[in-house]
Structure 1
Amino acid sequence: MKANTKWQVSGDAAERYEENLVPVIFIPWAQELLKRAELVAGDAVLDAACGTGIVARMASDRVGPDAKVVGADINAGMLAVARSKSEEEGKLIDWVEADVGNLPFDDASFDAVFCQQGLQFFPDKLIALKEFRRVLKPGGRCVICVARSLEHNPLMNGQIEILTRYIGEDAANAIRAVCGLSDSGMIHDLFTGAGFPEIDIESVTLTLRHPDGKAFVAGNMLSTPAANAISKLLEEKRQELFREFLNTFGSYYDGHALAFPHASHVVHARA
């Protein structure tokens, strides 16, 4: 199965992703997922489509140093950053380059499988969820989040408008894909089709914050698949893009800080 490349970063964008997006976006959502999983010491954990591995790294603190914690992703650059960060933090985590449609793990290997903002990008979502269920132990938990539609997410909505004008439709489509699985009924059907007997889906909105709106929009744009194209713009044009992107936040920007809603469906299912 070919991997979905609609939202993949290259070059040093993985480092910028970790620096700019993880603290503002992915740590708060990781906290939401982890509190639902109710991990205990010794639980075996898989962070699927892990990116730079923030869920795995935070889960490691909960399950202890002797527990099996694995992060899997198709992007070698993301895994390199994940490996470096976990080594800095003194955490023993296995980082595996793998496709979610064909996970290289035995049946019933994990107590919990997490996937943060990844399901919407998988080319065969049902196969991926079947793989999640296969590697879960009986009664194991699958906890994921998937972005709701664009009208609930000013961050993505604003990026689409600006990228379409400055870079092109392909760049905008990479951001549209973030909100490409926003129907909770469709998500429920996928989990049912994958054989999960217990499925709970909750719509959750977090308020994400950054103390410096100008710094955030520049860092955000240069941490996405459009980073290379944006970097090639003349400096004046690039700064204009950043200013216009910041303006799309409207009242969520107070002239210095940003505080904006970010909405997802959070799924907690048992195998």
Structure 2
Amino acid sequence: MTASASDKAFTGSIPQTYDRLMVPMIFAPYARDLAARAKAHQPRDLLEIAAGTGAVTTVLASELPDTHITATDLNEPMLAQAKTHLTGKTNISWQQADALSLPFGDASFDIVACQFGAMFFPDRIKGYSEARRVLRPGGRFLFNVWDKIEENDFANVMQQTMHQVFPSNPPQFMARTPHGYHDPARIRDDLTAAGFRDIGIEMVAHRSPAASPQDSAIAYCQGTPMRGEIEALGEPSLEAATQRVAEALAHRFGNGPIEGKIQALVISAVA
């Protein structure tokens, strides 16, 4: 599956909903994992691509106070939300940037980190080549991508529900893009084509907590570009579709606080 232009539309109220609900539910444990892997290499200069609302940036700023962190994202509204968490941090520079055309010189960084962003690259080999270009020789590219949607409980229930609510044309954002790039062989081939070596790919599972089925449904339906796809279909309304997902989650996981499996691939490659 190929990402579409609408998949990058993290605008309007999406950044705030994403930050409030999505980050603690699915991104926080992988942010801690990626930051720990970066910390082990004690970088002087670190570039973060697709920083989003700052899930990884926040942990990196705390864990690596002597590292200069350059945090970038294609979407300025996401960076604006990220900055609200990190006011006063002097070791972070913020910059809007396209991962396929990084505005930095060759060999500028010891580590390039990217949390769940590679799936959105229109040309992954070009994006990886840019990461390699800005890395110093022997520098490391650390990133993660989601495993197939069937291995991620809340996302899978949401997607199945979309097929029921919109049987003729279900919104496919989550399956198409966040969960659409999970083949280790393809990832390894793309990195090799971009010139990386010593490629390691590890499957990492965590538990995904949500305060309620409603919170999880809102996160997926209204805190991602799924929102635009649902709204474009007209009927049922966004609220009605969200409620159907909440009901499906409650049926599967119960009411009150719920928990499900999440699974991702964590990749390390050397320039």
Aligned equivalents of 1:168, 1:92: Cα separation in 2: 49
Q: Which residue pairs with 1:163 in the alignment?
A: 162
Larger mean CA deviation between 90-99 and 162-171 belongs to 162-171
- Pairing of 1:87-106 with structure 2 (within 5 A): 87=87, 90-106=89-105
User: Which residue in the other structure is 1:114 paired with?
Assistant: 113
Quote the residue 1:226 is aligned against. 226
SS of aligned partner of 1:86: coil
Contact 2:154 2:216 survives alignment (8 Å): no
Alignment map for 1:206-217 (pairs within 5 Å): 206-217=206-217
1:112-159 alpha-carbon deviations (Å, 9 max, x no partner): 111111111111000100111111122222111111112212222222
Unaligned runs of 5+ in 1: none
Q: Any gaps of 5 or more consecutive residues in structure 2?
A: none
| 1:204 maps to 2:204 | yes
* Matched-pair identity in %: 28
Given residue 17 of structure 1, which amino acid in structure 2 is its aligned partner?
A: Y
| Structure 2 match to 1:24 | 25
Q: Which residue is equivalent to 1:51? A: 52
Question: Is the contact between residue 144 and residue 268 of structure 1 (CA under 8 Å) also seen in structure 2?
Answer: yes
Following superposition, the deviation at residue 28 of structure 1 comes to 0.8
RMSD of the alignment, in Å? 2.9
Give the structure-1-normalised TM-score: 0.87
Cα deviations by residue, 1:42-99 (Å, 9 ceiling, x for unpaired): 63111101111221221111221x5311111111111111122211x64542111111
Distance 2:226 2:259 in 1: 24
Distance in 2 (CA, whole Å) between partners of 1:170 and 1:105 is 42
Change (3 A) 1:92 1:140: same
The count of aligned residue pairs is 268
Per the TM alignment, residue 167 of structure 1 is displaced from its structure 2 partner at its CA by: 6.0
1:11 and 2:12 equivalent? yes
Report the counterpart of residue 133 of structure 1 in structure 2.
132
**Within 2, Cα distance between the matches of 1:171 and 1:110?**
42
Cα displacement (A) at 1:237: 5.7
Question: Structure 1 pair 132/184, CA: closer, same or farther in 2 (3 Å)?
Answer: same
**How far apart, in 2, do the equivalents of 1:162 and 1:199 lie?**
37
Matches of 1:102 and 1:182 in 2, distance apart? Answer: 24
Distance in 2 (alpha carbons) for counterparts of 1:69 and 1:219: 28
TM-score (norm 2): 0.87
- Aligned residue for 2:63? 62
